[in-house]
């Protein structure tokens, strides 16, 4: 009897458990059934956000970043919650509209990251006016198949919608009070998730979120949607801060420069070029890695090679550009200021006061001019060149631009230089001393007009001796047909144009009392896989060496970053074999140009953020707009919070912390100088009077 009773109790318990499980499963099924559209909306948009991070940032930390997934879920759940307030028959329009919006965010950032290795900012909307001028470059070099992946999400939502429509899903009757309850319950759940998310944040997470410098880190921790919404706020914040945050910015500015010594001290190069004419070449997309490179014993850049071997060659020189690319370089080279936190100085802050090299040389009796055969308003150069101190800007309207003498975005470099020499000749006749900037154009992405660059094979040739003693020449395509290969053809053309310019200048006697300066404005932003092919090609297999081959040269993301350096050369006609003829291997940034050249030419800008490389030497630090920095000892990646050693010297945590604080402070000071117009003495005096 006891056994029977025990068996009955077990059966009873089993039935109860089964009923509860059935009820629970039924509830779950009903939940999914009644909230299908809402759940699919969450799923596709969180999946798109995750895919964006996977496509852009290749690291284990990023792949496993549950914080970003949670953050993206919180945003989409919050948006989705308000869909319940809408009647079922109109709910799809709401969810699809927001899905289209969030998908657009992913696509824009995916395309943007390919070119800038950073995420997009709302402040860059002001630059859309320039897209038409570089449209081909965007299509050929930036838009990729991965950028269309995000369209799968909206397509899935449409398919689910059509299936639900067939099942009369939208004909359900939901009371207004029930819809309101659903919204409130969903927001409460979302709020709990938000609390969990906030509890997990570290002080470093919060600091970087508020500063918004390190965009990769923010997206990795906060997801793309929170980043983008925060970006909207930070993009309008400067306009608000410029009205309310002046006093704090001014104090930090004063404190910083009271202890700055970037221009202090003389050295063997002090005033060595004082009174000489100056020609500066802005080398579009010129990179240091082309110097010394050969294909079949033919030099890619024979002119750059000669200038580097005869003058001062700074072989570890880095541009410090952000989203403003060439315009950022012009700003930093001339003023030693870094790119702004949001927008670009050239477009967003052209009404500020700047202390540029041209303005400083004006005060020393120089006539200053700039030359660029492009539209004067591209990158707002017409206004900014005046603000920097150029007295004359020769732009597209000053040149004869015919269809047969154009390459890429406009007038070919050879025609540009040829026409410019005549203008410089006239400037020289009318002025005792002068300073001129010439901005090259032909070597601009997408490097696709190879038929206009002239013959320069980027293949690999070898001579094979046959058994009968005859020989055959075998050609391996190697870099032919790759974007990097086309770049080498393009830069070879630009180098040839540069040589013709120097020869013509010399013929006219314009190099006799002139200092020639050349800098690359930024790297060419070419695929890493092409560099892998360049350094690891094996003619025997007509492909890249396998990873386990002892001759395989690793070319990871760090090598790619370090390989983005650009040439900086100071040369005179008679510098070869003198104390002006050497290679400087210390790391140097674009913002060091003002102090270094100022010492040589005899001008001073006490508000420079860089250093005279001959004073600071091996102790220099190069700060990048994304918060990364480098010294002779290491390259520090602030996104990953890790470093790559560049020497055998010991590296301490204290040193890393010190340089990171220095980097963050410098970026803030530079941004404040521009945003609050702190170099405008009249405005500063007026503010002081009002106190």
Per-residue pLDDT, averaged over 73-85, amounts to 93
Quick check: is 648 in a domain? no
Number of neighbouring beta carbons within 10 Å of residue 582: 11
Quick check: is 632 in a domain? no
pLDDT band at residue 235 using 50, 70 and 90 as cut-offs = low
What domain range is 322 assigned to?
267-620
Per-residue pLDDT, averaged over 449-477, amounts to 88
Residues 321 and 237 in one domain: no
pLDDT band at residue 242 using 50, 70 and 90 as cut-offs = low
Q: What is the pLDDT of residue 213?
A: 61
Residues 49 and 72 in one domain: yes
- Number of domains within the chain: 3
Q: Is the whole model's pTM more than 0.85, yes or no?
A: no
> What's the mean per-residue pLDDT of the chain?
88
Lowest-confidence segment of 424-438, 504-518, 667-681 by average pLDDT: 667-681
Residue 163 has pLDDT above 70, yes or no: yes
Quick check: is 294 in a domain? yes
Quick check: is 597 in a domain? yes
Residue 669 has pLDDT above 90, yes or no: yes
Quick check: is 651 in a domain? no
Residue 230 has pLDDT above 60, yes or no: yes
In this structure, what token pair is assigned to residue 389? 């101190």
Please identify, among 591, 620, 649, the residue that sits at the C-terminal boundary of a domain. 620
- Which residue in the block uniquely carries the two structure tokens 């200038």? 307
Residues 12 and 49 in one domain: no
Residue 311 has pLDDT above 80, yes or no: yes
Ranked by mean pLDDT, the top range of 204-208, 422-426, 457-461 is 422-426
Residues 573 and 425 in one domain: yes
Number of neighbouring beta carbons within 10 Å of residue 624: 25
Residues 613 and 594 in one domain: yes
Distances from the Cα of 233 to the Cα of 123, 188, 212, 229, 237, angstroms: 10, 25, 10, 7, 6
- Contacts (Cβ under 8 Å, ≥6 apart) of 469: none
Q: Between residues 660 and 218, which one has the greater pLDDT?
A: 660
Number of neighbouring beta carbons within 10 Å of residue 84: 22
Residue 57 has pLDDT above 90, yes or no: no
Q: Show the beta-strand stretches assigned E in 358-453.
A: 367-371, 392-394, 406-407, 410-411, 434-439
- Torsion angle, CA of 413/416/422/423, rounded to 10 degrees? -120
Instruction: Judge whether 170 and 88 are in contact, CB under 8 Å.
Output: yes
Burial 652-669 (b: 16+ CB within 10 A, else e): eeeebeebbeebbebbbb
Give first-to-last CA distance, the chain, whole Å. 98
Instruction: Judge whether 339 and 625 are in contact, CB under 8 Å.
Output: yes
Number of neighbouring beta carbons within 10 Å of residue 470: 8
Work out the burial of residue 579: count CB atoms within 10 Å of its CB; fewer than 13 is exposed, 13-18 middle, 19 or more buried.
Answer: exposed
Domain harbouring 334, CATH code: 3.40.720.10
The closest of 677, 655, 685 to 238, measured between CA atoms, is 677
Report the C-alpha gap between 631 and 629 in whole angstroms: 7
Report the C-alpha gap between 268 and 579 in whole angstroms: 9
Q: What is the pLDDT of residue 135?
A: 46
Count helices and strands (H / E) in the chain. 24, 22
Q: Tell me which H or E stretch contains 310.
A: helix 302-310
Per-residue pLDDT, averaged over 422-450, amounts to 96
- Which residue in the block uniquely carries the two structure tokens 């009318």? 430
Residues 207 and 281 in one domain: no
- Which residue in the block uniquely carries the two structure tokens 């290795």? 117
Instruction: Judge whether 511 and 277 are in contact, CB under 8 Å.
Output: no
pLDDT in tens, 217-227: 888 889 999 99
Q: Between residues 148 and 499, which one has the greater pLDDT?
A: 499
In this structure, what token pair is assigned to residue 397? 């309207």
Residues 184 and 333 in one domain: no
pLDDT band at residue 462 using 50, 70 and 90 as cut-offs = confident
Distances from the Cα of 690 to the Cα of 312, 455, 660, angstroms: 50, 66, 37
Check residue 412 and report its DSSP letter. Answer: -
Residues 234 and 271 in one domain: no
Residues 69 and 9 in one domain: no
Quick check: is 444 in a domain? yes
The closest of 227, 225, 233, 223 to 103, measured between CA atoms, is 225
Residue 17 has pLDDT above 60, yes or no: no
In this structure, what token pair is assigned to residue 456? 């320069």
Report the C-alpha gap between 657 and 653 in whole angstroms: 6
CA dihedral sign, ordered 297, 299, 302, 307: negative
Residues 175 and 135 in one domain: yes
Distances from the Cα of 369 to the Cα of 337, 358, 389, angstroms: 21, 8, 9
- Contacts (Cβ under 8 Å, ≥6 apart) of 586: 314, 316, 613, 617, 618, 620, 632
Lowest-confidence segment of 122-131, 261-270, 677-686 by average pLDDT: 122-131
Per DSSP, the residues of 648-683 read: SS---HHHHHHHHHHHHHHHHHHHHHHHTTTT-HHH
Instruction: Judge whether 253 and 678 are in contact, CB under 8 Å.
Output: yes
pLDDT band at residue 409 using 50, 70 and 90 as cut-offs = confident
pLDDT cut 70: percent of the chain above it: 87
Please identify, among 580, 601, 620, the residue that sits at the C-terminal boundary of a domain. 620
Q: How many residues does the chain have?
A: 691
Residue 282 has pLDDT above 70, yes or no: yes
- Which residue in the block uniquely carries the two structure tokens 């110097």? 291
Quick check: is 316 in a domain? yes
Q: Tell me which H or E stretch contains 571.
A: strand 568-571
Residues 165 and 195 in one domain: yes
The closest of 81, 98, 85 to 45, measured between CA atoms, is 98
pLDDT in tens, 313-345: 999 999 999 888 899 999 999 999 999 987 789
pLDDT cut 90: percent of the chain above it: 64
Q: What is the pLDDT of residue 363?
A: 96
The closest of 118, 117, 112 to 147, measured between CA atoms, is 112
Q: What is the pLDDT of residue 19?
A: 46
Lowest-confidence segment of 140-144, 165-169, 471-475 by average pLDDT: 140-144
In this structure, what token pair is assigned to residue 14? 């089993």
Residues 227 and 342 in one domain: no
pLDDT in tens, 617-657: 999 999 999 999 999 999 999 888 899 999 999 999 999 99
pLDDT in tens, 165-205: 888 877 776 777 888 998 999 999 999 999 999 999 887 78
In this structure, what token pair is assigned to residue 520? 């690359």
The 3-state DSSP class for residue 445 equals coil
Residue 134 has pLDDT above 60, yes or no: no
Quick check: is 312 in a domain? yes
Lowest-confidence segment of 20-34, 90-104, 362-376 by average pLDDT: 20-34
Q: Tell me which H or E stretch contains 417.
A: helix 413-430
Per-residue pLDDT, averaged over 338-363, amounts to 92
Phi/psi region, residue 261 (left: phi>0; alpha: psi -120 to 50; beta: rest), is alpha
């Amino acid at each position: 009897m006891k056994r029977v009773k025990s068996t009955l109790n077990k059966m009873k318990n089993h039935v109860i458990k089964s009923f509860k499980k059935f009820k629970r499963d039924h509830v779950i099924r009903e939940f999914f059934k009644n909230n299908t559209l809402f759940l699919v909306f969450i799923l596709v948009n969180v999946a798109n956000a995750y895919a964006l991070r996977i496509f852009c940032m290749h690291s284990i930390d990023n792949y496993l970043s549950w914080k970003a997934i949670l953050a993206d879920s919180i945003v989409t759940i919050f948006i989705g919650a308000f869909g319940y307030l809408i009647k079922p028959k109109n709910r799809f329009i709401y969810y699809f509209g927001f899905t289209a919006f969030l998908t657009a965010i992913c696509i824009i950032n995916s395309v943007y990251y390919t070119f800038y290795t950073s995420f997009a900012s709302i402040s860059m909307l002001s630059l859309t006016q320039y897209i038409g001028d570089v449209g081909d470059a965007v299509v050929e070099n930036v838009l990729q198949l991965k950028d269309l992946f995000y369209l799968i999400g909206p397509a899935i939502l449409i398919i689910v919608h059509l299936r639900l429509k067939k099942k009369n899903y939208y004909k359900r009757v939901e009371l207004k009070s029930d819809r309101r309850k659903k919204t409130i319950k969903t927001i409460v759940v979302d709020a709990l998730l938000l609390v969990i998310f906030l509890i997990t944040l570290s002080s470093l997470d919060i600091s970087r979120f508020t500063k918004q410098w390190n965009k990769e880190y923010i997206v990795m921790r906060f997801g793309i949607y929170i980043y983008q919404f925060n970006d909207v706020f930070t993009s309008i914040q400067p306009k608000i801060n410029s009205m309310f945050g002046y006093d704090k910015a001014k104090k930090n500015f004063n404190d910083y420069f009271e202890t700055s010594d970037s221009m202090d001290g003389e050295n063997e190069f002090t005033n060595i070029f004082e009174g000489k004419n100056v020609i500066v070449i802005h080398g579009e997309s010129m990179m240091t890695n082309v110097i010394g490179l050969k294909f079949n014993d033919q030099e890619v850049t024979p002119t750059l090679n000669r200038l580097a071997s005869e003058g001062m060659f700074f072989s570890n020189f880095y541009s410090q550009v952000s989203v403003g690319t060439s315009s950022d370089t012009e700003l930093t080279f001339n003023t030693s200021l870094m790119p702004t936190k949001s927008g670009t100085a050239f477009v967003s802050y052209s009404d500020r006061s700047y202390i540029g090299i041209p303005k400083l040389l004006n005060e020393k009796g120089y006539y200053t001019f700039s030359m660029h055969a492009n539209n004067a308003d591209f990158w707002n150069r017409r206004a900014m060149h005046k603000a920097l101190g150029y007295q004359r800007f020769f732009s597209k309207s000053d040149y004869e631009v015919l269809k047969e003498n154009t390459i890429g975005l406009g007038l070919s470099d050879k025609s540009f230089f040829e026409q410019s020499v005549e203008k410089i000749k006239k400037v020289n006749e009318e002025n005792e001393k002068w300073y001129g900037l010439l901005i090259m154009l032909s070597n601009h992405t997408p490097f696709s007009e190879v038929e206009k660059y002239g013959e320069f094979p980027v293949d690999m040739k070898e001579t094979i001796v046959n058994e009968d003693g005859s020989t055959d020449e075998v050609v391996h395509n190697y870099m032919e047909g790759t974007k990097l290969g086309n770049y080498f053809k393009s830069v070879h053309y630009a180098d040839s144009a540069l040589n013709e310019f120097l020869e013509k200048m010399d013929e006219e006697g314009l190099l006799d009392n002139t200092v020639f300066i050349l800098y690359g404005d930024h790297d060419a932003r070419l695929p890493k896989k092409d560099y892998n092919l360049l350094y690891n090609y094996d003619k025997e297999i007509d492909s890249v060496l396998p990873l386990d081959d002892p001759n395989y040269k690793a070319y990871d993301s760090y090598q790619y970053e370090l390989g983005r350096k650009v040439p900086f050369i100071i040369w005179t006609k008679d510098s070869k074999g003198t104390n002006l003829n050497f290679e400087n291997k210390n790391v140097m940034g674009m913002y060091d140009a003002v102090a270094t050249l100022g010492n040589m030419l005899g001008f001073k800008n006490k508000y420079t953020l860089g250093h005279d490389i001959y004073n600071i030497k091996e102790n220099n630090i190069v700060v990048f707009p994304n918060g990364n920095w480098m010294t002779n000892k290491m390259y520090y990646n602030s996104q990953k919070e890790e470093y790559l050693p560049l020497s055998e010297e010991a590296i301490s945590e204290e040193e890393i912390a010190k340089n990171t604080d220095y980097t963050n402070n410098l970026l803030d000071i530079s941004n404040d100088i521009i945003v609050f117009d702190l170099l405008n003495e009249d405005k500063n005096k007026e503010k002081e009077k009002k106190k």
